[in-house]
Amino acid sequence: MENLQERLLVSFPNQKRSGVQRIFCFANVDENKKLIRWIRCGATKRADLGVSGCVVLDDILHIVIQSKKKPKIVSIDPNNWRILGTYFLKRAKDPHCLVTHQGKLFLASTGNNSVYSLSIDNNLIVGEEEVWHFPDTSFDQDDVHLNGLIFINDQMIISAFGRRNKEGNWSKGGVLLNVVTGVPIRDHLEHPHSAQFLNGLLVFAESNIGMIHLGKLKHKEDFDFLTIKIGGYPRGILIRKDHLIVGQSEIRQISKSTGIASNVENKDLGSCGLVQINLKDYTFSKIINLSTHGPEIYSVLDVKCCLPSIEHRPSSFAFFEAAKTFFQRLI
């Protein structure tokens, strides 16, 4: 295949619902050349809001398309960026994180406080089955904002904000929870997101106060943590050999879920972009500003893929770009 190599991919959630920005919400970002190349990912409907979780399984890239009406997962061949299939979620609501474990796909369903296992046939998603539900929560609304999951020693770890306070905002009851043992790895957190675990290093964001937590595994689930304040609303973490790439979003002044003013304790509202954290001395710097392309980032990941051809947002007409995406499936 032409020009296949590891490239950095970034997802943009909560894009504008009108105009072309809702279509262009997934991109290859060259952090060295400061160049962004957009990828048509199937976000063509007016109700589509952007991309949240994304992951590769068996050389197929699966990405979650947010939607006010019909959220879906689009499967793409990264060798040529052809859309192979689209699965409209039937049970999961407000899907967020998407991960793999032992050859299976798992999805965090924020809108009903659940985790789903996704059935695969011929590399395409064909079904969903609930495998865990947050205790003492409903099945039809977002009670604790369960947004992410990882596996450590084959045990599922979820991240959630916890219960809302009397004002309707999320309290400081966020948690990284081992669902097998019921024991928190960390608790009393403010908006935990994007936990990643690699080679004994656990990293997650405490987004509402602009913090990144790094924990070195000592024994089983006992970690030595240190914390780095990068500001903004960090979400989306990629662990590389000697550094981290972290997505940084603007902090919302109005809660998306409640429509009321957010209890923002982090005074640094930040701007959308990517931050690099050195794993030797823990210094950090913003390596690219992406605020002209969207207000928020959800996922960052390295994927072996060909080079996307779109170097900038090529058209101001959403209908024209939606048509291109449709015909892309026929190629």
Q: Using one digit for the tens of pLDDT, what is the confidence trace for 106-120? A: 999 999 999 999 999
Q: What is the pTM of this model?
A: 0.89
The answer to whether 297 touches 280, Cβ cutoff 8 Å, is no
Nearest to residue 206, comparing CAs of 180, 224, 240, 229? 229
pLDDT single digits (tens) 254-292? 555 555 445 555 556 678 999 999 999 999 999 999 998
**The token pair that represents 144 in the structure block:** 């604790």
pLDDT at position 260? 46
Give me the mean pLDDT over the 241-249 stretch: 97
Query: Sign of the C-alpha dihedral, residues 7, 13, 17, 18?
Result: negative
CA distance 151 to 142: 23
The answer to whether 163 touches 143, Cβ cutoff 8 Å, is yes
The answer to whether 291 touches 250, Cβ cutoff 8 Å, is yes
- Specify the residue for token string 């550094």: 243
CATH node for 5-328: 2.130.10.10
What does the angle CA 123 – CA 125 – CA 130 come to, to the nearest 5 degrees?
135
The answer to whether 40 touches 23, Cβ cutoff 8 Å, is yes
The answer to whether 217 touches 271, Cβ cutoff 8 Å, is no
**The token pair that represents 136 in the structure block:** 């003492």
pLDDT at position 218? 86
pLDDT single digits (tens) 139-195? 999 999 999 999 999 999 999 999 988 878 888 999 999 999 999 999 999 999 999
DSSP string, 214-262: EEEEEETTEEEEEEEE--SEEEEEEE-SSEEEEEEEPPPSB-TTT-SB-
pLDDT at position 331? 46
Q: Where are the beta strands (DSSP E) in 110-191?
A: 114-121, 124-133, 146-152, 155-160, 174-178, 184-189
Give me the mean pLDDT over the 75-96 stretch: 96
Residue 132, Cβ neighbours under 10 Å: how many? 19
pLDDT of 48 higher than 70: yes
Q: Where are the domains of the chain?
A: 5-328
Residues paired with residue 51 on neighbouring β-strands, in sequence order: 65
